[in-house]
Structure 1
Amino acid sequence: MSPFSPFAAKLAVIPVNEHTVGVRGVTTHFWQYGQPDASKTIVMIHGFRGDHHGLEPIVAELGGDVRVIIPDLPGFGASDALPGVSDIQAYSLWLQDFYAAVTVPSAHPHSVILGHSFGSIVVAAALAGGLPAHQAVLINPIAVNALKGPNGFMTRLAVLYYKAAAVLPEKAGFALLKNTAIVRIMSVTMAKTKDPELRTWIHEQHDSYFSDFVSRASVLEAFETSVNNDVNQFVDAINARKDPVAFLLLVADRDDITALPEQKALASRLTGARLEVVKGVGHLVHYEAPDFAAHNIRSFLGLPPRQATSATTRTP
């Protein structure tokens, strides 16, 4: 994390180690934060075009008494791409195998799965496929098809952008995907905070990590997967599990990808789900309101609060 990060000081006191594991024949890089023998383990899955850095502010606010594991999704950050087509089934199977590799039941009996944005779809698919977690946290979940979200026009522009990147020659398509001006437009559109220092840092994060992918195929397949799937399609299979999953949904009232009414509808469909809403924040809860996220996660897991937070009373 950048030393200019507003969360750097809190993160610096939390132990962290990088590891690798072979999953489905390829190498996955992951980072372990906190105490290895902590009573709770959370496996966190980041969003589209991100990597493990994006969820570090939540780690910083959670504190070191929780063991957190964050992999780079296949094809992003330092992780290898999966062989063949990376569709939702491929991501689901990868996550089931990765989760099994890093959460040995005898050593980590109280493991939790967490997904942000695109990561929420991957988590939902894996849970529907039998991933053995009994508690799950979804942050800014993709509750409906992104084209039906409150900013559907921007999503359609994104579809055209990725289609153009796909049909261009390899070098030109790769350059388009990494175009700094387009990345900045995305960042400016999604950031809702009026704090100039926080906005600058968010843009820096996107500049640094939003274009860190293995290949053009990796990002194009992930985008196609993200717009063709949503959490809702997996709800029936999750609810039908013999081992129920308790859900915490952390959502924002200014999310450009999924509007609040759709988030509430998703929560009502997931048996026994708890919904918490942060005001004045959009799709970047992990950057703009990690204190809100950490406070509610600790409560959901039955852990004492680290400190009081007024995150739920934020103003636009």
Structure 2
Amino acid sequence: MKTTSPGQSTAPAYISPDLAARTTAATVEVDGATVAYWTCAPLHATPDTRTILVIHGFRGDHHGLLRVADQLPDMRLVMPDLPGFGSSGAFRSGAHSVERYGRFIADFMAALGLGPDTVLLGHSFGSIIAAHFVAANPDAVSPLILINPIAAPALEGPKGIMTRLAVLYYRLGARLPRPLGLALLRSPLIVRVMSEAMAKTKDSSLRNFIHGQHHAYFSAFANRDSLLEAFTASVSSHVAEVAGSLNLPVLLVAGEKDEIAMLPDQHRLAALLPDGQLTVIPGVGHLIHYETPEPAARSIRSFLEDHPA
């Protein structure tokens, strides 16, 4: 394991200098992949300090959850870039599937010595990975927090047509000659369209920050094949299919205006959980981690106070 300096600089208006001061970066070998991860230390560690393992969403990396981490200075957050994304290498063999990412969580926790009192948090695609991991490993973590959880099949319902178009986009990007495929997948115009579609805030400065984050980090994937595999995994599974097996406290943090993980599906998912709690943040969509980190963090803190280690 190699410890390095904290990660790239971020906009000071939206992420405090204090976070950078308490953040360290390191790498570890997991299942044949060099995994980069960041640890945000608590300002004042105690025996009761909670450790949260954070699993980011599709095409994202640890940067996306930094604003939430900034609002939880009393906790320790461990944030890896998933294999195939950000600064982490792809798996050397095998598909980048939900099951494989679940094995990654188990191996990563073992490598860092993270025990069953670890809190697991997943955002978007990370919610699918986290939920399936917990269903297969019921005593590995506790509790579970899902932000913008993917609560229903992506290929069904009103968003099914757009999902099928996205499938064609990623398949085309993987099959075109490499320069053309990468140009398509990393197109600044397409990334901007995706960013505009997801952002709901009317604050122009915050919108510019979000677009800048997506422009800087949304195209940091290892290769086209791993990206297609991960996308296929993201639209082939969902949290509800394992909800009945999640026999631990689960917090769902949903956006009122989320067009990817829609609110009616969140209510149905909450009803399927043996011990679930749903928090709905008004006025925000699929970018809770960027647009409304403060209420998300308040909900997380309250939930963990109700479910101590």
The answer on 1:170 being equivalent to 2:170 is no
Distance (whole Å) between structure 2 residues aligned to residue 133 and residue 266 of structure 1: 20
Contact 1:162/1:177 (CA < 8 Å) preserved in 2?
Answer: yes
Paired letter, 2:250: F
Structure 2 equivalent of residue 237 of structure 1: 245
SS class of match (2:305): coil
Distance (whole Å) between structure 2 residues aligned to residue 26 and residue 166 of structure 1: 21
CA RMSD, Structure 1 to Structure 2 (Å): 1.8
The answer on 1:263 being equivalent to 2:266 is yes
Paired letter, 1:246: P
SS class of match (2:121): strand
Contact 1:5/1:201 (CA < 8 Å) preserved in 2?
Answer: no
Structure 2 equivalent of residue 241 of structure 1: none
Deviation, structure 1 residue 9: 2.0
Distance (whole Å) between structure 2 residues aligned to residue 14 and residue 292 of structure 1: 23
The answer on 1:116 being equivalent to 2:115 is no
Distance (whole Å) between structure 1 residues aligned to residue 270 and residue 292 of structure 2: 20
Q: Match for 2:70 among 60, 77, 84? A: 60
- Indicate how the Cα distance of structure 1 residues 43 and 221 shifts in structure 2: closer, same or farther if over 3 A, else same: same
The answer on 1:99 being equivalent to 2:102 is no
Deviation, structure 1 residue 163: 1.9
Q: Match for 2:85 among 66, 76, 84? A: 76
Structure 2 equivalent of residue 314 of structure 1: none
CA deviations over 1:275-296 (Å, ceiling 9, x no partner): 0001110000000110011001
The answer on 1:290 being equivalent to 2:299 is no
Q: Match for 2:231 among 218, 223, 227? A: 223
The answer on 1:142 being equivalent to 2:145 is no
Contact 1:24/1:97 (CA < 8 Å) preserved in 2?
Answer: yes
Distance (whole Å) between structure 1 residues aligned to residue 211 and residue 221 of structure 2: 18
Count the aligned residue pairs: 294
Structure 2 equivalent of residue 41 of structure 1: 51
Contact 2:19/2:40 (CA < 8 Å) preserved in 1?
Answer: no
Structure 2: any 5+ residue segments left out of the alignment?
1-7
Paired letter, 2:269: L
Distance (whole Å) between structure 2 residues aligned to residue 232 and residue 207 of structure 1: 31
Q: Match for 1:87 among 92, 97, 103? A: 97
SS class of match (1:22): strand
Distance (whole Å) between structure 2 residues aligned to residue 95 and residue 3 of structure 1: 27
